[in-house]
Structure 1
Amino acid sequence: MNKTLILFSSVHGQTRKICEFMAQRLIQQGHDVTLAAITEAPALDSFERVLIGASIRHGKHNPAVYDFIRQHQAQLEAKVNGFFSVSLVARKPAKNTPQTNPYMQAFLAKTDWRPQLLQVFGGNLNYQGYGAMDRNIIRFIMWITKGPTDPNTCVEYTDWKKVEAFTDQFATA
């Protein structure tokens, strides 16, 4: 049985939801899975595999993601490892791969860690779930990028088949 750790950094919950889905899929495949927020990560010693998922907020991954990677890079590199990023930008076909997603490229430029597996997933747009400031900032960004701006919009851009495929790839790496 593979001992797998899935860590997440999530602002509005979509990255956590994706990680929970991945955890259930891995458990069904016989993995022993621990799921935790990156700020509450257990010691990595007892895990054979580590997967990190991080959301984008205002164009950036949470600094805690970089801090964790910096502190644990050698341990991460000694295990089967992967990283995925969740953003609304990844809803666009031209920006939904690790090679074409600007946030993944910024992540790779900012860290020396080179995960064995990389992926990007579209997030969830729920204007009613945001505070006034976030709602206005995201609506402005959506207006610029020709996305939905209706304040009642609630749409999930996560491609769950893509999440399944990435999870299966991680399970057999």
Structure 2
Amino acid sequence: MKTAIIFSSTHGTTEKASQLLREHLQGEVDVIDLKKCSNLSLSGYNSIILGSSIYAGSVKSKLKQFVKQNQIDLATKKLGLFLCCMYEGDKANKQFETAYPLELRKLSVSNGLFGGEFILSNLNFLERKIIKMIDGVTSDVTKLDLDGIKKFADKFNAYTA
């Protein structure tokens, strides 16, 4: 069993979540950053996990493009989907629904909302101002859901064992 965690991240939180997730998955796992890999073949993988952050209200364009180009192949794999975002509850669920096409959400054996982070040193001046204005954040905030990552992995492992 070979799994690929394929992600797109703006400031590193989704990459961090992908690495944490890898630690809980069974079998051989590759973690692939879409920024660094342009021609990715899914043929060597039995299962695929897709992850992205929300940036300026939208899922990363590299992930959108990857999903669009590979939707038929993705439908033939064991699939997991996750999202890193600062919202919780209904707002987070709405972002998840917007991030991934319904067809993939229906096929996914494990879905996750892993929380998010505002690491101010990773943000540019304008981003810091916007976050302060919208969310009132003036220092680093970490809401990464480690328990949620483990639960996602446990459910995914149960389907791919």
TM-score (norm 1): 0.82
Instruction: Indicate the SS of the match to 1:113.
Output: helix
> Relative contact order: is structure 1 or structure 2 higher (C-alpha 8 Å, sep ≥ 6)?
2
1:118 aligns with one of 111, 123, 128? 111
Whether the aligned pair in 2 keeps the contact of 1:121 and 1:158 (CA below 8 Å) is yes
Look up the match of 1:129: 122
User: Sequence identity of aligned pairs in percent?
Assistant: 25
CA shift for structure 1 position 15: 0.5
1:169 aligns with one of 133, 141, 155? 155
Q: Which runs of 5+ in 1 are unaligned?
A: 144-148
The aligned amino acid for 1:19 is S
- Distance in 1 (CA, whole Å) between partners of 2:44 and 2:8 is 21
Look up the match of 2:98: 106
TM-score (norm 2): 0.87
Look up the match of 2:19: 20
Q: Deviations over 1:9-50 (max 9, x none)?
A: 111111000101111222xx3x11111112416310010000
Look up the match of 2:46: 48
RMSD: 1.8
Q: Which runs of 5+ in 2 are unaligned?
A: none
1:80 aligns with one of 75, 78, 81? 78
Matched, 1:159 2:145: yes
Instruction: Indicate the SS of the match to 2:72.
Output: helix
1:33-72 mapped onto 2 (5 Å cutoff): 33-39=29-35, 40=37, 42-72=40-70
